[in-house]
Amino acid sequence: MFPYWSTPVAGDGDARGRRHPDRALAVFVDDPDVEVGQALGLPEEVDAAAAKPCEPRGEGADPERAKAARRFADCAFHGDGVCAVGRPFARRIALQVRADVVVAIGGDGTVLRAVGMVADAGVPLVALNAGQLGYLADVAPERAEWALDELAAGRGRLEERMRVQATVTPAAGDPQTPISTRTGLNEVVVERSLTGHTLRLRVYLDGEFFTSYVTDGMVVATPTGSTAYALSVRGPIVAPTHRALVMVPVAPHLLFDRAMVLEASSTVELEVVGHRSAVLSVDGQSGTEVAPGGRVCCSMAPVPARFIRFEQLRFHDVLKRKFSLADR
CA angle 147, 228, 163 (to 5 degrees): 70
* β-bridge partners, 27: 84, 103
Do residues 255 and 271 touch, judged by C-beta distance below 8 A? Answer: no
Q: Report the C-alpha gap between 234 and 226 in whole angstroms.
A: 10
Return the H-helix or E-strand segment holding 101.
strand 101-106
Closest C-alpha among 241, 242, 225, 7 to residue 101: 7
Task: Count Cα atoms within 13 angstroms, Cβ side, for 38.
Answer: 22
Q: Quick one: angle between helices 63-75 and 144-152, nearest 10? A: 30
Contact residues for 145 (Cβ-Cβ < 8 A; gap 6+): 71, 75
Q: Which of 108, 120, 138, 283 is catalytic?
A: 108
CB 268 within 8 A of CB 165: no
Terminal CA-CA length for the chain = 43
What three-state secondary structure class fits 204?
strand
CA 187 – CA 230 distance, rounded (Å): 8
Q: Which sign, positive or negative, has the C-alpha torsion 51, 56, 60, 66?
A: negative
Measure the CA–CA gap between 18 and 12, rounded to whole angstroms: 9
Give yes or no: 108 in active site. yes
Name residue 198's amino acid: T
β partners of residue 295: 169, 271
- Cα–Cα distance between 279 and 165 in angstroms, integer? 16
Question: Which residues are part of the catalytic machinery?
Answer: 108
